[in-house]
Copies of this chain bind each other. A is one copy, B any other.
Amino acid sequence: MTEKQNVLREDVRLPAFVVRRSALDRNIADFQRFADERGVLLCPHAKTSMTPALFGRQLAAGCWGLTFASCAQLEVARRHGVRRVFYANELVGAADIRYVCGELRRDPEFDFYCLADSVPGVQLLAERVAAGDPGRPVNVLIEGGLPGGRCGVRDVGAAVEVAEAVRAAGPRLALAGVEGFEGLARNPDPARREADVRQFLGFLARIAAALDGRGLFGTGPVLLSAGGSALYDLVIEELTAVRLSRPHRVVLRSGCYVTLDWGLYAGLLDDLHRRSGSAEPTLEPALEVWTQVLSVPEPGLIILSAGRRDFGQDAGNPIALTHVRHGSAGRRSLRGAGWRMAAASDQHAHMTAPPGHGVQVGDLVALGPSHPCTTFDKWRAVHLVDDDYNVVETMPTYF
């Protein structure tokens, strides 16, 4: 038996991005059960981790497919055997469409869905699909958007025109459903935000009804898709309640459940629990950045070996989690110990700590990032660890 590398023993280079396996496995199992019980198809956005080893765990737990937002991401998924991809974006680029068509032609089991929101976009897609010769239709969902927001039609009339263009582009294209991203409703007042999101989901439902009424959907169940990682309770409630002339399935794309975080989504999960009056899903933060004390240049100032090249700050600074004296394996919690990240450089975190912080040069300090998306994308490898911080797997990322 080979001895495992241990993070606390400095067998691996620091700083190191670590995911705790016990928390990860619980999160993946619990969120899948949550989706299953509510009767929705889970197709999590996987751009957060871009870690095929995690894709494998999510798919093994039973998720319907995985969501991506660029063809560079799609190619990573395909190289790692992902069969069903929800491409939550308009498919426009010539090189992208060549790639998708080639994959559809090569692999009959590749199941692919993309978005469209304009007649010129559909015409360009159809023209490029014709050149790419996939051998079967490309599945398209009409994207609904918010005024002042991002992509997506702004009214039902436009949605009908785009859907008719898709129909006219048959058999190159097939209309599979309706999609939107409710997370773009950004009213800071929670009650107003909830109302805006319900209204937006109602708009998607009205689009679906209009297309259904005109017989524009292709064969198979109609797909209605939404769901970031903050408001998926509302998505499930509103979209499962839609009634069309034929069966539909709700495709939920929430992705941040895998590792959660120590700031943004942890807080949004509390909001969701409060709003829904339920403790489900039960998720816990699984990600940590382990750093080393490089310097204690002033009594209350500790310089750590990880900076904005190693963790995101877009949703607040990481918090200090744990201290380990170098050469020992004893962990001491730093939560509530008055540590604060005063600043971050590219490669350094500048921490302030109260007198008697008890930290020396060479000690290890774990940080809890506030946002998984902007932390994963800074690493080429993630160490999966057991509860004693033995490395059980080193998982490459592909951003």
A293 part of interface (Cβ distance < 8 Å): yes
Query: Is the beta-carbon distance between A297 and B10 smaller than 8 angstroms?
Result: no
A309 part of interface (Cβ distance < 8 Å): yes
Query: Is the beta-carbon distance between B362 and A10 smaller than 8 angstroms?
Result: no
Cross-chain contact of A347 among B70, B95, B148 (Cβ < 8 A)? B70
Cross-chain contact of A296 among B118, B298, B303 (Cβ < 8 A)? B118
| Complex alpha-carbon distance, A293 and B399, angstroms | 22
The majority secondary structure among interface residues of chain A is loop
Cross-chain contact of A348 among B93, B151, B297 (Cβ < 8 A)? B151
Chain A 139-157: CB-based contact to B (< 8 A → 1; otherwise 0) = 0000001011111111000
Chain B residues with CB below 8 A from A314, complex form: 308
Chain B residues with CB below 8 A from A154, complex form: 297-298
Most buried by B among A11, A72, A301, A360: A72
A305 part of interface (Cβ distance < 8 Å): yes
A94 part of interface (Cβ distance < 8 Å): yes
A47 part of interface (Cβ distance < 8 Å): yes
A240 part of interface (Cβ distance < 8 Å): no
Query: Is the beta-carbon distance between B124 and A361 smaller than 8 angstroms?
Result: yes
Query: Is the beta-carbon distance between B95 and A14 smaller than 8 angstroms?
Result: yes
Query: Is the beta-carbon distance between B95 and A295 smaller than 8 angstroms?
Result: no
Q: Nearest residue in B to A15 (C-beta to C-beta)?
A: B70
Chain B residues with CB below 8 A from A15, complex form: 70
Cross-chain contact of A399 among B305, B326, B373, B380 (Cβ < 8 A)? B380
Query: Is the beta-carbon distance between B10 and A292 smaller than 8 angstroms?
Result: no
A96 part of interface (Cβ distance < 8 Å): yes
Chain B residues with CB below 8 A from A117, complex form: 295, 297
Chain B residues with CB below 8 A from A233, complex form: none
A394 part of interface (Cβ distance < 8 Å): no
Within 8 A of B (CB), among A235-260: none
Q: Nearest residue in B to A373 (C-beta to C-beta)?
A: B346
Chain B residues with CB below 8 A from A59, complex form: none
A316 part of interface (Cβ distance < 8 Å): no
Chain A 374-386: CB-based contact to B (< 8 A → 1; otherwise 0) = 0001101000000
A–B pairs, 6, beta carbons within 8 Å: A14-B96, A69-B347, A90-B294, A147-B298, A152-B297, A154-B297
